[in-house]
Structure 1
Amino acid sequence: MDDSTGLQSMRSKSKAEVVEQQSLLYRPDTPSHIEQNVENTVPKNTVVSWISLPNKGQLMILAMCRVSEPLSNSTLLAYIFYLLQTTLSTPSSTPSNAEIARVSGLLVAMFPFGQFLTSFLWGWLSDVYGRKPVIVFGLVVSVIANMGFGFSLNFESLLFWRFIAGLANGNTGVMRSMTAEIVEEKKHRARAFMLLPLVFSTGRILGMAFGGVFADPVKSLPHIFGTTGALNVSKTSGGVAWMIHYPYAFPMIVNSAFMTAALILANFKLSETAPGRRQQMCDLAVSWPFVVRSAHRLLRKSGSTRYTAVETDEKQLEAQGENNMYGSAQPKRCAIWNRKTIRVIIFSGLLPLHNGAFTHLFAVFLSTPIAASNPSDLFHSAGGLGLTSQSIGIVLAILGISGIILKFFTYPPVHAHFGTLRTIWISLLLFPVAYFATPFLALISEQSIWRWLCVVSLLLTQIMARGFIIPCSIMLLTDSVYQKGALGRVHGAANMLGSLAKALAPLIGGWIFSRGIEMNCIGMAWWFWLTPIAFVSLAWSFLLSDVDKIGEEIRSSHDI
């Protein structure tokens, strides 16, 4: 069959047949540094394990880059109550607990709002110009934003730098796309897509630990930074002078140091994986002129109003048909935004409405002072657990580490046994249990061991549910993309909607939480916001069955 006959045969196929063939043929190109045709060289009976995961070096560098977001986002949660209490206080007034809860929602929301504005942009830029420059640029801005936040002394500056950090970290979808392109074999995807959530959890643990231990270091680490501390070389009364003036700068300095290390590794060691852009950028010296030239071309095109003649010869039509079948850097719009993809994107937006609000509300709940009087019944209490920032950071860090260990060993066999969609359903049933029970922690005596056992149980339940559902949702979204050239945009769109949900969740949750304190019902946000939204997510997940079938067909077509 000659080329023209083959092209005509492809054109004669129905749209449904083409879409089905696209779904089965979808596989990201193998990066230049990865051995070609891996699936043909690995025996079918090879044991799938963490050790057998390919390209671990590249995944490790990408994982270090992924730490940027949770570090930037979660460090302040350990001390946000005390940060706002200090920032909002005046010589004549002190903010109430309800006011702090309300304002904390705005501060937390600025980060995901920044992500919302740039997520799709970063995804599009990564599809066109490559993944690596987007990741490197994001890390540079993250370092600057963290330093700016740490040395801010007023609420407006805190909002600004948190917003800038969110703009820089809208590239989560880019990293997810890169994971799919680094790990080619579908049988390794359950572990590969679990890696980024594990790293996210690790980064969040580090962030909370940094915030809890290093916030106000003159008081938290007096033997090092206090009046007689080893590093108080000037012997300033009260401790290290600049730490007294900027009590919450030290955690952000530590954050910036970690991000700088990731930036150096990404710049010199991370390989480009975007289709058509590989081997173009090895380090900043090479990539920077490329970025400048690309920006110049983009500006020149935007200022041009002339029409360009379009060639329509048979060879170009043939190339276009081939690209539409196997994927291109600029696929047609109708081929990208199909019904299945949109359903998964909406599902990705529902999760942060409750899951994202939990982290913020739980941190504020732990910091809220214990109620002055015992509640009259189970549903009337305005008090939290009254923990210090150091206690919160250490407790959340220890529990997070435990959660990571559990997820590391339990997720792969659970996913292998139940499959993607059933694992999602199990997770969505665990969320409302944790949400509904959390406010009752305030009713348990602070001296009782039962309080800590319940705290551990509820947190581990939420951590496990989150750790299971995120990689599953990423796999569903990847399976719904028919064209590899659109992967960055689709993940960017999902991250964009998820970021908007993360921005709305603390605003709404913080307002409801503050109203609950004022109405002597601290459980209001948990019972009338998080729990119902979790059930809405569960209901929507039943619309994803056809997407999961596509994933099963893809996996079976690759002998998984």
Structure 2
Amino acid sequence: MPGSSTRKSESSESFTLEVGRDSHPLTPPMSPQTSRSRLLQHSTLQRVSDHPPSSEDGSYKHRKAKQQATMLLLALVPEGILEAMLIPLYPFIVRSVGDIPEDQVGYYSGLLGSAFYAPLLLTNIGWGFTSDKVGRRPILILGLLMGIVSASLLTFGTSFSQIFTARFLAGCFGATSTVTKGMLGELFSDDKGRSWGYAMYGVVYGLAGILGPLLAGALVDPHLKWPHLFAGEWWEKRPFALPCGFGGLMMAGDSPCDVAFMPQSVADYEAVLQTEVDERRVSLSGENDAEKKTSTEIFSLSDGDEDEEDEEDENGTARPLNKAQQQPLGNTIARDPHLKPARHPLLTNRTLFPIGFYCTIAFVNMVDMTAIPLFFSAKLGNGGLGLAASTAALYLSTIAITKLLGQITTFRYVVSLLGKYGTFTAGAWAFTVGNIAMACIVAMFATVRSDSTDVSPFLFLAPVLIVLGIAEVLGYLAVILLITDSVEPRYLGLSHGFASTCSAAARTLAPTVAGAVWQWGIVLGGMATGIVFAFAATIAFLVVLGGSRFKN
């Protein structure tokens, strides 16, 4: 009957619109094990509804991800501050423990810098893989607890071997950074979110880089600054005990918050991520036969007759999709046009090349972080500036302040303007220029034989240190984005673990090499005193050339 057909048709349309209003396109009510046919059914319901997917669920998920990322990043603060306190103090620690000759200070400072990263050669990829299986939180909490043990050993250590052992132990369980980078990649599935997450990751270390040297300078030598509180032989033998102990106390205070509030990625996000990946594949697969079959089944639910057709679909096929409905479900990952999605976890050029860049940048950065404190601490006329520990830490904080401001204010805008490749290349150029300038400054001060000059060295150093801070902002964060974007979400822990393992090799080698090259420059003297920075500039320039080749 015509009237009956019209009523059935209206009933069908009413049913379809109801489903479209009540469904949640980004988070359908189904388990992670939902079959492909049910995902296709859900996708077809949305198309039939003639309503574009609502952004309400996506906005809620993005806000929730930011909250979880904030709690995650707070766990990095104590470790980052302790690390930032120790870097400028290594040469002074070496001079305070044992009878180490002045011409050996560079070598031993390099060994202390390498002690933390040497075990990461083996443990980083293991912790990253384990975090993919058992979750991020257990690994992060274990690293925090062992960090407390390491800080305690540093506090009570009086010999080089004890200090070396403490740093080595911290490196064995120092996977916090690796696991955090993998988890940030899980929490955010688009470039905008990841840019924010990794920028905030850099902000944490930027704040730590500022607070660490300032705290180190303020707390070192407490028996001289506050003799009424820290008098006695114990404090005289351990002039660096107070900053190390303070770092351990910060970790201990952070532990309860981490146990209570730190997110557990495997339990909380695996289902949502798997659903998004499946929906994206369904939307892009082009399996029209399956969609038509599912569409026919859904229409039959409303009118009870498979042979009866909708008035608006005279051919019995699904209606054409409008522009909004053709968009993939879930958060769309906006990828660089030069970088196609990788389907294999590690052994592809699009993953291995960024990891190689990451390692090279890490090597250059560690050479700088070893050589600059040596330059600050060495005596004037012996290749250095002869600064006190507190002054050296204050000077070095210039890099951290620049990093913090750059990560907060400019990184996301530079990425949107230059792209990930362009941003990384700009960072490599900044490393090159900054190290060339440092080589010139060291050579200039090598000719000064007394402290009679009225010119403050900071006037020359400040612009160069700012350039090196900009280099870290652009180079590091951009290459982390490249690594994250090169693999699927389920491989993020493994890929960042592998990248951190490789960079640990570079960070293990760099301090020892930097110490040796620094001492070689001291022996050569004159204009060759800053040869270690010329060496770092050469490596950075090779990164520029390699990045250009990779982009092409």
Instruction: Output the TM-score relative to the length of structure 2.
Output: 0.72
**What amino acid is aligned across from residue 358 of structure 1 in structure 2?**
D
Unmatched segments (≥5 aa) in structure 2: 1-26, 33-42, 44-51, 272-341
Q: CA deviation at 1:489?
A: 0.6
Counterpart among 159, 162, 168 of residue 157 in structure 1: 162
- Residue 142 (structure 1) aligned with residue 142 (structure 2): no
**What amino acid is aligned across from residue 129 of structure 1 in structure 2?**
V
Q: CA deviation at 1:334?
A: 5.2
Q: CA deviation at 1:67?
A: 2.7
Secondary structure (helix, strand or coil) at the match of 2:118 reads helix
- Residue 208 (structure 1) aligned with residue 218 (structure 2): no
Q: CA deviation at 1:419?
A: 1.1
Q: CA deviation at 1:203?
A: 1.7
Q: Does the aligned pair in 2 maintain the 1:197–1:467 contact within 8 Å?
A: yes
Q: Identity over aligned residues, as a percent?
A: 22
The Cα RMSD (Å) is 3.0
- Residue 435 (structure 1) aligned with residue 435 (structure 2): yes
Counterpart among 105, 108, 112 of residue 103 in structure 1: 108
Residues matched between the structures, number: 426
Structure 1 distance, partners of 2:489, 2:403, is 33
Structure 2 residue aligned with 1:408:
408
Counterpart among 267, 273, 276 of residue 265 in structure 2: 273
- Residue 359 (structure 1) aligned with residue 351 (structure 2): no
Structure 2 distance, partners of 1:278, 1:340, is 25
1:485–1:56 distance in 2 versus 1, CA, 3 Å: closer
Q: CA deviation at 1:543?
A: 4.1
Structure 2 distance, partners of 1:57, 1:240, is 47
**What amino acid is aligned across from residue 271 of structure 1 in structure 2?**
P
1:388–1:335 distance in 2 versus 1, CA, 3 Å: closer
Secondary structure (helix, strand or coil) at the match of 1:274 reads helix
Structure 1 residue aligned with 2:70:
60
- Residue 506 (structure 1) aligned with residue 511 (structure 2): yes
For the pair shown, the structure with the greater C-alpha radius of gyration is: 2
Structure 2 residue aligned with 1:80:
90
Secondary structure (helix, strand or coil) at the match of 2:387 reads coil
Q: Does the aligned pair in 1 maintain the 2:72–2:263 contact within 8 Å?
A: no
Structure 2 distance, partners of 1:169, 1:484, is 23
- Residue 341 (structure 1) aligned with residue 354 (structure 2): no
Q: Does the aligned pair in 1 maintain the 2:398–2:465 contact within 8 Å?
A: no
Q: Does the aligned pair in 2 maintain the 1:353–1:502 contact within 8 Å?
A: yes
Structure 2 distance, partners of 1:150, 1:135, is 23
1:388–1:137 distance in 2 versus 1, CA, 3 Å: same
Structure 1 residue aligned with 2:520:
515
Alignment of 1:281-300 (within 5 A): none
Counterpart among 121, 143, 148 of residue 116 in structure 1: 121
Counterpart among 462, 465, 468 of residue 462 in structure 1: 468
C-alpha deviations, 1:248-287, integer Å up to 9, x for none?
A: 11111111122223322211101111368879xxxxxxxx
Structure 1 distance, partners of 2:65, 2:344, is 33
Alignment of 1:116-265 (within 5 A): 116-219=121-224, 221-222=225-226, 226=227, 229=228, 231=229, 239-265=231-257
Q: CA deviation at 1:76?
A: 2.1
C-alpha deviations, 1:378-430, integer Å up to 9, x for none?
A: xxxx4211110011122323552244124311222222111111111111111
C-alpha deviations, 1:70-111, integer Å up to 9, x for none?
A: 33433222322222112132xxxx612x31011111111111
**What amino acid is aligned across from residue 394 of structure 2 in structure 1?**
I
Structure 1 distance, partners of 2:222, 2:187, is 41
Q: Does the aligned pair in 1 maintain the 2:200–2:407 contact within 8 Å?
A: no
Secondary structure (helix, strand or coil) at the match of 2:75 reads helix
Q: Does the aligned pair in 2 maintain the 1:79–1:215 contact within 8 Å?
A: no
Counterpart among 527, 539, 548 of residue 542 in structure 1: 548
1:153–1:274 distance in 2 versus 1, CA, 3 Å: same
Structure 2 residue aligned with 1:282:
none
Structure 2 distance, partners of 1:40, 1:66, is 37
Choose 452-461 or 182-191, whichever is displaced more. 182-191
**What amino acid is aligned across from residue 234 of structure 2 in structure 1?**
W
Structure 2 distance, partners of 1:109, 1:458, is 25
1:458–1:206 distance in 2 versus 1, CA, 3 Å: same
Q: CA deviation at 1:244?
A: 2.4
Q: Does the aligned pair in 2 maintain the 1:54–1:183 contact within 8 Å?
A: no
Q: Does the aligned pair in 1 maintain the 2:399–2:468 contact within 8 Å?
A: no
Structure 2 distance, partners of 1:456, 1:509, is 22
Secondary structure (helix, strand or coil) at the match of 1:369 reads coil
Structure 1 distance, partners of 2:79, 2:435, is 24
1:70–1:360 distance in 2 versus 1, CA, 3 Å: farther
Q: Does the aligned pair in 1 maintain the 2:411–2:474 contact within 8 Å?
A: yes
Q: Does the aligned pair in 1 maintain the 2:178–2:496 contact within 8 Å?
A: yes
Unmatched segments (≥5 aa) in structure 1: 1-26, 47-51, 233-238, 280-331, 372-381, 547-560
Structure 1 distance, partners of 2:396, 2:345, is 43
C-alpha deviations, 1:30-58, integer Å up to 9, x for none?
A: x99xxxx9x95548999xxxxx8653332
C-alpha deviations, 1:503-551, integer Å up to 9, x for none?
A: 1011111101111112213211111x201110111122124427xxxxx
Structure 2 residue aligned with 1:474:
480
Q: CA deviation at 1:463?
A: 0.5
Structure 2 residue aligned with 1:312:
none
1:403–1:472 distance in 2 versus 1, CA, 3 Å: closer
Structure 2 distance, partners of 1:429, 1:53, is 36
Structure 2 residue aligned with 1:526:
533
Q: Does the aligned pair in 1 maintain the 2:185–2:489 contact within 8 Å?
A: no
1:485–1:439 distance in 2 versus 1, CA, 3 Å: same
1:449–1:271 distance in 2 versus 1, CA, 3 Å: same
Q: CA deviation at 1:240?
A: 4.7
Q: Does the aligned pair in 1 maintain the 2:90–2:112 contact within 8 Å?
A: no
Structure 2 distance, partners of 1:275, 1:135, is 15
1:353–1:44 distance in 2 versus 1, CA, 3 Å: same
Q: Does the aligned pair in 2 maintain the 1:343–1:543 contact within 8 Å?
A: no
Structure 2 residue aligned with 1:550:
none
Structure 2 distance, partners of 1:424, 1:278, is 31
Structure 1 distance, partners of 2:380, 2:345, is 55
1:40–1:396 distance in 2 versus 1, CA, 3 Å: farther
